[in-house]
Structure 1
Amino acid sequence: MQQSTGVVEAIILDVKDRKRIGGAFLKTNAICCNSTLAETGSCKLGEVILQKNPDIPSWPRVIKTHFAGKIEEVKMGSEEVEINSNGMYYLYFMFCNPELKGTLINGRTVWKNPNGYLPGKMTPLMTVFGIMSLAYLVLGLVWFLRFVQFWKDIIQLHYHITAVIALGMCEMAVWYFEYANFNSAGLRPMGITLWAVTFTTVKKTLSRLLLLVVSMGFGVVRPTLGGITSKVLVLGLVYFIASEAFELVEHLGNINDFSKKTKVFMVLPVVFLDSCFILWIFSSLSKTLEKLQVIFSYLSFQSFK
């Protein structure tokens, strides 16, 4: 018989039960069980102190893998763990034997929900994007029919609106395909995700630029933007870069890769540029309304004469 020389514990638990790891319930800051605590029967010597959930006695779930004698490599057996409660779950690999310091763990875990591999927080999005794809398809069909019906009265703005609708249609379809593929295969298709993120960013940028130039009176009271065209394009380009960077970080990483501070740092440029768009749109809209009011007053005066 070879003596056990260390144990690695795989601990699966709900995020709400994180405080059950360690000796807080025993009024100690220790993570590992020592001889004093072991004598009281509160834990086993050389193992992680773990408080069981009184509502679900089998949780947190612990899977132990032992090293024996001088063996330096051990294979952990495959385990299937059934989870019957909704929530965010973590898997920790922990050990208390100081001789195991530097231990390398290789392998993979597979997490699957009843309807597929999509994480719980992402599952409703597949349905949302499916519905939105159909909605954009209907909108595009109606717009196309009206576009053909009144083709003699088409102005340049109508082509821009058509482009935004087409981008929205492609965006929703690609996102739905991305989530459906992720749900069935269990791996996120990075190429499809990159295309979906790019479609989203381009549509957001064009829609903001379109709203801005319309508020400036383009196609209504002025045929061109004149000298401010370059400023509008620069703002659009900077917004595209900032938004694309944020979306890539958000979607190409793992679900919980980044801390709240990192996400705030990435979203700040996008929020600032959105604020610039809002301020510019409202100020331009106010000036355009004043021009229209002057024109309307002049035309009314001429008609009265």
Structure 2
Amino acid sequence: MRTSGLARAGLALLTLASTAAAVEYEVTQKDFQKCSGMYSRKAWGGNVDPFILTKFRQPSPPPPLRTPADGDDPVVSAVDAAACTDEQRGEFVLAANATDRSRNAILTQAVHLHNPPAIRYPVKKTGYYCVVTNPYSAHPDTDQYTAITEFRNAFGDLPAAQIAKLPFYAAFTIIYAFLALAWAALYYLHRRDILAVQNYVTAILVFLVVEMFMTWLFYDYQNRHGLSAGAKALMILVSILSAVRNSFSFFLLLIVCMGYGVVKPTLGKTMIYVRALAVTHFVFGVIYAIASLSITPENAGPLILLVVLPLAASLTAFYVWTLNSLNLTMKDLMERKQTVKAAMYRRLWWCILLTIIVIFVFFFINSWTFAGTTTADFIPTHWQTRWFILDGWLNLVYLADVAFIAYLWRPTANNRRFAMSDEIAQDDDGFEIESLRDSFDLDLEDPESDGGGGMKYESVRAGREGSPPAGASP
């Protein structure tokens, strides 16, 4: 856009690739370019045809009518060079084949600020669109302008780059609900044989259903009503729920790695310290979430470290403590020849290791992709998938980890006997453990054979047919 002492401005709408809904930006002489992707109406449906609307505010008082002197007017030389006509004064100079080479139509227009019209650009194709303004004036420092640009999508008020989150979080809500229902069925069937750690797993599964639903509700509400006060309240609530999920997840993983419920019936005073660390991490997470919502990157100074460093410290403490506890638990089980339990924790160790590898590989691929693309091209090229890079794939990894841990620690008929009993060490080279469930089958034929003081069970099975099972004699 170009403004002149005629009090006019030229406006160009350029198309690069795609995003936005009823998202409004303020355009000024200093902040002269705003870009957003846009979806066509066919892409996501909707009740209106998508468009970009730019409205200029008339200055008060309006700038004086003055035309630049020939020596000060950069357009005069362009007219003399036949790059444009005198009727195109104040518009952007485009190449002769610019419209043919562009994916969408390019609109350039001079705007008189004495009576600025609303400029509407219909969006027919999905693409990344930019509104560019530039002052055309002999006195650009004094002839200021302000405009509001609205990127309106057909589906609602949610930015186009975020619309994919609606079906994504809806699907995750359903998946976690089915996972919680399956867990609840097992929990009910074996309700008399539940371990303490399984109650924590139950709690986090229920919480995840609620959190995913509230996250979906936030995006759905914003799509219907825009970023209103209600949407902002939901955004704060979702940020707090996210902090709870992170703290609860690290807490659960830590007590599992410590052997709580399977190797140790209680953690004693250690549980107090673990809970204190989880609460501390939650508090720092909420502070970080509030700061990220209230402080823009441009205004973030050195004080932002006071928000980031405490969260990083508590996160590091969880990582170190968790990995160290898992190694100590596995070492203790192997020394006591508790092969079945050790196998469970070895699977957990591989799960954590695989998660770390996936995260590093994904970050490496993203960094490599970004390094091969200039900053100016990255957003226009990846605006439709950037949400998945920043947020979506981490939720997939988290879902896989939660499902795996829930499977390993699922309620069964042998929970308490498995947790409270030890395998009898076997030195026979032919000895094998068939499975977690088979290794602790009960001998129910004579439950009172020990005088009522205990229950006879088959501690392990021999791997060879015909070998008597190793039993635990009362």
TM-score w.r.t. structure 1 length?
A: 0.73
Q: Find the counterpart in structure 1 of residue 112 from structure 2.
A: 66
Counterpart pick for 2:222 among 173, 176, 182:
182
Matches within 5 A, 1:146-165: 146-165=186-205
* CA RMSD across the alignment: 3.8
Q: 2:333 maps to what in 1?
A: 292
CA contact (8 A) 1:15 1:89 kept: yes
Q: Is 2:101 aligned against 1:55? A: yes
1:129 offset after TM fit, Å?
Answer: 0.9
**What residue is the counterpart of 2:282 in the other structure?**
240
Q: CA deviation at 1:247?
A: 4.6
Q: Give how far 1:214 is off.
A: 0.8
Displacement of 1:156: 2.2
- Where does structure 1 lack aligned partners over 5 or more consecutive residues? 22-31, 68-73
2:331, 2:214 → 1: CA distance? 42
> What is the deviation of 1:144?
2.1
Aligned twin of 2:450: none
Asked whether the 8 Å contact 1:8–1:66 carries over to 2, the reply is: yes
Aligned to 2:264: 222
Q: What SS does structure 2 have at the residue aligned with 1:110?
A: strand
SS of structure 1 residue aligned to 2:150: coil
Instruction: Find the counterpart in structure 2 of residue 145 from structure 1.
Output: 185
Task: Look up the equivalent residue of 1:214 and give its one-letter code.
Answer: V
Equivalent of 2:127, from 80, 87, 94? 87
Give, as a single letter, the amino acid of the residue that structure 2 aligns with 1:40. A
**Distance of aligned partners of 1:104 and 1:5 in 2 relative to their CA distance in 1, 3 Å threshold:** closer
Is contact 2:5–2:136 with CA below 8 Å preserved after alignment? no
Aligned residue pair count: 278
* Structure 2 residues without counterparts, runs of 5 or longer: 19-32, 34-72, 339-421, 427-470
Q: Deviations over 1:124-161 (max 9, x none)?
A: 11001111111222222222222222221123222211
Larger radius of gyration: 2
Cα separation, 1, equivalents of 2:103 and 2:333:
72
1:285 CA drift (Å): 0.8
| Correspondence for 1:194 | 236
SS at match of 2:260: coil
| TM-aligned CA deviation for residue 201 of structure 1 | 1.9
User: Which residue identity is paired with 1:218?
Assistant: Y
**Aligned ranges 1:13-24 → 2 under 5 Å:** 13-15=14-16
**Partner of residue 26, structure 1:** none
| Residues 33 and 49, structure 1, Cα contact 8 Å, conserved in 2 | no
* Superposition deviation, residue 9 in structure 1: 2.7
What is the aligned counterpart of 1:277 among 307, 318, 321?
Answer: 318
Other-structure match for 1:133: 173
Query: 1:14 is matched by which residue type in structure 2?
Result: T
**Separation in structure 2 between the aligned mates of residue 226 and residue 98 of structure 1, nearest angstrom:** 78
1:139–1:50 distance in 2 versus 1, CA, 3 Å: same
Give the helix-richer structure, 1 or 2. Answer: 1
One-letter code aligned to 1:175: T
- State the identity as a percent: 20
**Helix, strand or coil: the match of 2:146?**
coil
Residue 253 of structure 2 corresponds to 211
Contact 1:4 1:66 in 2 (8 A): no
Deviation at residue 212 of structure 1 after TM alignment: 1.0
Q: In structure 2, what is the Cα distance between the partners aligned to 1:142 and 1:131?
A: 17
Give, in whole Å, the separation in 1 of the partners of 2:9 and 2:152: 24
Could you say what secondary structure the match of 2:336 adopts? helix
- 1:274 Cα deviation from its structure 2 partner: 4.7
| SS of residue in 2 equivalent to 1:92 | strand
TM-score (norm. length: structure 2): 0.50
Query: Structure 1 residues 154 and 82 mapped into 2: Cα distance closer, same or farther (>3 Å)?
Result: same
